[in-house]
């Protein structure tokens, strides 16, 4: 991930756009969603307060905001200037200056550890093989298995549970084997190229990758 800096105008925020915020009182240090209401250039950014009521945000508190862009993640910290309750619950924060931008290239992979079931579409003798997704990008993944999965250019289907925030989905992603290697311990490692066409599947996959890279966490499910 390459680190750059943006100006506020580069974000091209729109009214009603979802923006993530990390309150100081977030018990598990996870981001919560709120919505952009507007901005006064060089003065303040205004966001909805209704979604953040449980955190007891107060004036003077420092907040960290995170915005998912099409090619990366923008992050900035700022202070709460004022909290309005009427006519709507709103939070006014200091206008962001230095905005850190982490560009995510399609070739960069998020390292994860995610159980999966894999079936070979080209050669049906390999069905429901247990494996582990070792890393993933929007273009493909590295997959480890204890058993032979097939040959290069075989089409496969990977089924796994993906978690993005509080959303859990079991996705089936189509791809093909582009690399195959048997390790010294007898296990196998495969390079998989995705060719999944379902838009909803790919949107959730993108969200998973963004979230994994932004948090720097490896997802493990046992």
* pLDDT per residue as tens digits for the range 147-197: 999 999 999 999 999 877 667 889 999 999 999 999 999 999 999 999 877
Q: Is residue 174 part of a domain?
A: yes
Last residue of a domain, one of 49, 73, 103: 103
- Same domain as 83, residue 55: yes
- More confident call, 88 vs 29: 88
The answer to whether the CB of 219 falls within 8 A of the CB of 113 is: yes
User: Do 99 and 139 share a domain, yes or no?
Assistant: no
Using CA atoms, how far residue 131 sits from 75, 128, 155, in Å, is: 35, 9, 16
Query: Do 9 and 58 lie in a common domain?
Result: yes
| Domain count for the chain | 2
Residue 71 has pLDDT above 80, yes or no: no
**pLDDT for position 196:** 72
Give the pLDDT band of residue 92 (cuts 50, 70, 90). very high
| 50, part of any domain | yes
Would you say residue 183 lies in a domain?
Answer: yes
Asked which of 61, 81, 103 is the last residue of a domain, the reply is: 103
In a domain, 221, yes or no: no
Full domain range(s) for residue 124:
110-215
Q: What is the pTM of this model?
A: 0.55
pLDDT tens-digit profile of 99-133?
A: 998 776 555 677 888 999 999 999 999 999 999 99
Q: Is the pLDDT of residue 59 over 70?
A: yes
Region 196-209: mean pLDDT is 76
Domain boundary residue, one of 43, 74, 103: 103
pLDDT for 220 equals: 42
């Amino acid at each position: 991930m390459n680190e750059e800096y943006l100006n506020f105008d580069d974000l091209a925020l729109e009214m009603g756009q979802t923006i993530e915020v990390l309150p100081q009182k977030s018990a598990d240090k996870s981001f919560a969603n709120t919505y952009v209401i507007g901005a006064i250039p060089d003065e303040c950014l205004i966001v909805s307060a209704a979604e953040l009521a449980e955190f007891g945000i107060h004036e003077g508190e420092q907040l960290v905001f995170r915005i998912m862009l099409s090619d990366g993640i923008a992050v900035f910290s700022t202070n709460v200037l004022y909290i309005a309750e009427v006519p709507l619950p709103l939070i006014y924060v200091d206008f962001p200056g230095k905005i850190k931008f982490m560009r995510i290239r399609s070739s960069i992979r998020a390292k994860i550890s995610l159980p999966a079931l894999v079936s070979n579409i080209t050669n049906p003798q390999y069905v429901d093989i247990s494996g582990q997704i070792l890393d993933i990008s929007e273009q493909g993944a590295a997959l480890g298995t204890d058993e032979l999965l097939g040959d290069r250019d075989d089409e496969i289907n990977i089924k796994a549970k993906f978690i993005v925030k509080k959303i859990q989905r079991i996705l089936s992603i189509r791809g093909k084997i582009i690399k195959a290697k048997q390790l010294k311990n007898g296990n196998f490692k495969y390079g998989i190229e995705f060719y999944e066409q379902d838009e909803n599947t790919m949107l959730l996959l993108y969200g998973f990758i963004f979230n994994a890279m932004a948090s720097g966490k490896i997802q493990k499910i046992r």
